[in-house]
């Protein structure tokens, strides 16, 4: 992947002085943006790493590609060990550490944990262990839901692991202790969404079943706590009705990635067109076929990496 200088490269003394001045101002909190800042800002051409247990994280990647068309991305789907949702939290922490460690060794500048189960189980540990920043999908969703709710009754549809972790409850309570969160585990949804008929009667019936407790709780805002769920958003919106706000991670996470890159001054050249590539621990042909449904963009080639290589990266 190409584009831009190495971060920290200095062309002349004036540019160096300008950067040192920016750093001093950031430390004191007194910084006024100038034209010189725009032209002299650091450029970091390294790609952004994105991972999920399989295909669902491609909904997040799609939004990142649209929001940050000048950035490069590498997506890793751990399809050999999916689904993550029903697994114990300790096992998810180990898997997440291995995948994130592999991406860090690939030279990424930021990692997006585009998996609600992995974020719930492992994000604090990953933030403490990794050298590069990592963004999860829970905090952006929780913040958006707290902002959106009118009656302070928020619903959550998620995997068993995400519900069991209690992370959404912690985040929502921190943001607004008066908001009540009603959580429903949805073990049938991911297999249905990945089936040959994701919009069939079985999916509609499952959505109605899982939506029932949230409707009875009068939730006016529902967090779609799995990156698969946006694919069936029309069914979810039909069952809940237009008055219920659906919050999902793709748009909110892409916004947080954008803000993180700008805040840490590790953006790529804005005038370029970024590239993206795919890696999976599963079958590349299956990933290519199923992945196009989630990404809604062409997938030309998919590389395969062995699980043992991920284990060594941890």
Residues identified as active-site: 115, 226
Task: Tell me the C-alpha distance between 10 and 184, whole Å.
Answer: 53
Burial 152-171, CB ≥16 within 10 A → b, else e: ebbbbbbbbbbbbbebbbeb
Cis preceding linkage at 29, omega within 30: no
- Whole-angstrom distance, CA of residue 15 vs CA of residue 13: 5
Sheet with 302-304, strands from edge to edge, namely 134-136, 110-113, 48-52, 73-77, 276-280, 302-304
- Sign of the CA dihedral with 237 first, then 155, 210, and 118 last: positive
Task: Pick the closest to residue 115 from 156, 58, 192, 184 (CA basis).
Answer: 58
């Amino acid at each position: 992947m190409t584009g831009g200088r190495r971060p920290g490269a200095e062309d002349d003394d004036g540019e160096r002085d300008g950067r040192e001045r920016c750093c001093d101002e950031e430390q004191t909190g007194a910084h006024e943006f100038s034209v010189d800042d725009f032209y002299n800002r650091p450029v970091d051409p390294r790609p952004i790493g994105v991972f999920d247990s399989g295909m669902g994280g491609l909904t997040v990647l799609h939004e990142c590609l649209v929001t940050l068309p000048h950035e490069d991305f590498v997506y890793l789907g751990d399809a050999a060990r999916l689904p993550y949702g029903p697994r114990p939290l300790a096992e998810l922490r180990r898997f997440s550490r291995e995948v994130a460690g592999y991406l860090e060794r690939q030279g990424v500048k930021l990692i997006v944990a585009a998996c609600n189960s992995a974020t719930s189980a492992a994000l604090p540990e990953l933030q403490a262990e990794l050298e590069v920043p990592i963004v999860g999908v829970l905090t952006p969703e929780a913040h958006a839901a707290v902002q959106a709710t009118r009656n302070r009754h928020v619903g959550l549809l998620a995997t068993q692991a995400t519900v069991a972790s209690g992370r959404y409850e912690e985040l929502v309570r921190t943001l607004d202790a008066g908001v009540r969160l009603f959580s429903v585990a949805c073990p049938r949804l991911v297999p249905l969404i990945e089936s040959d008929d994701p919009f069939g009667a079985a999916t509609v019936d499952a959505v109605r079943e899982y939506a029932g407790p949230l409707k009875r709780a009068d939730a006016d805002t529902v967090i779609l706590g799995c990156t698969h769920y946006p694919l069936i958003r029309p069914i979810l919106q039909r069952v809940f009705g237009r008055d219920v706000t659906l919050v999902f991670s793709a748009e909110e996470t892409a916004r947080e990635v954008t803000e993180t890159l700008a805040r840490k001054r590790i953006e790529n050249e804005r005038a370029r067109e970024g590239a993206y590539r795919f890696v999976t621990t599963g079958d590349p042909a299956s990933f290519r076929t199923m992945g196009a449904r989630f990404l809604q963009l062409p997938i030309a080639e998919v590389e395969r990496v062995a699980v043992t290589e991920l284990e060594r990266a941890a």
